Structure 1
Amino acid sequence: MNPLISPPESIDVLLQRAEALAGLSLGQLAQSFGIQPPTNLRRDKGWPGQLLEIALGANAGSKPQQDFLHLGVELKSIPVDQNGMPMETTYVCVAPLMDITGLRWEQSLVYHKLQQVLWIPIQGERTLTPATRRIGMPILWRPDNEQLRQLQQDWEEIMELISLGKVSTITARHGEVLQLRPKAANSRALTASIAEDGSIQMTNPRGFYLKTSFTRQILRQYFG
């Protein structure tokens, strides 16, 4: 738990906190907590999101659960270009590669994390230093029935390939809105997964990511 800011007691309080950050630069926000911004995000890609967690009182840390578990809300910062459109895919969670027999969509971490998301756009142009990037207005989003259908369909298709030992054949092109990609600091990181003959093989950890076409649709829904 962040010792500086207590967790928000309601969604209204969370939204008020997030709206109060809109217009601030990351440098101004960091300064208010005595934090030194990095000179670039090459090694500190997660820094903007971590700063927002501190400012909003998120208490999940690195646990595999929603950032505001008591409110059922996940926090996602999203780098946007000068037109307010997402610049990269959005990481959701680590993908399970073992012990997945009988795992259903409604039990999955992807389903759990995406039930309700507080999106916070941040300027993402590479020409801006982390300190000068400004924070945008937040969006509290719940997937509609069609979005849930798309997410479930992609998740089930990807999980079926994993269960058949075909994890190495899955590319970022798989899935309409959700994709599976290697998720590790470097290619030497390995984890156990199912092989095609049912035995155990070692492979790079994988993560689920939302495609930019999907997050673009979410932003357009709210900002037009």
Structure 2
Amino acid sequence: MMVLAFLQRRILFIYWLVLFVHCCFIKLGWPYIAITKPMFVPLLLAYLLVRDNHIGRTPGKFIFYVGLFLALFGDILMISVNNTFFLSGMIIFMIMNLCYAFSFFQLAEMKVYDPLALAVTTFILYVIGFCFYEAMKTDLGDYGPPVVVYMFMVSVMVLTAVNLARGGRLREAGARYILPGAVIFLVENMLVAAGTFHYGGDRNIYVTVIITYAVAQFLFMKGIEKAYLQHPQEYLVSDSRY
């Protein structure tokens, strides 16, 4: 019990320590990134699960957990430079984005709060996606179509985060954690594409990638914690509607 209590207090410290060590491994070109990369998501899952007395309650929270498990498998597949594993990792992360999107929409009580904000965000995402694809399409080659689909999935997730931040009882969690996490995750995915297809595995790019990835996943986790675990009466009441 003492060990468990110690770990509960130190999980996030271990998380950031693993990130620092992982960045060092990338800069040094050491292969131990295969050990540290799959550690991020389990630490976040452990942080949530040891605090959650209602793991199966509410579809949104449970689906978020599913998304985190998918992120773990995606991280493992993305370690390999094998094209099949890389494409499989992309597909898994697409599904993860859909899981996150459902979770965030459920946090917003399945309502659309600000159609204008969503319309503006959709336009901005389209412009960003179009410009990015035009700049990268020569480098993408056969990966062009799956990258477009992936960009669409990420955009859906960002839109649900914007919707949550614009209204509902849990908008504070959306505005403070989930929306910033979604924006950072969008940037991280663009950096992954640039680093993989254009810069040919530049180490500085991948250090930035893993930092933005770790920060984004941390913010998602904190948003879920604030919404579901620090206000259990809110989600347990809303759960009865579904």
Query: Which structure: greater strand fraction?
Result: 1
Q: TM-score, normalised by structure 2?
A: 0.29
Q: TM-score, normalised by structure 1?
A: 0.31
Query: Which structure: greater helix fraction?
Result: 2
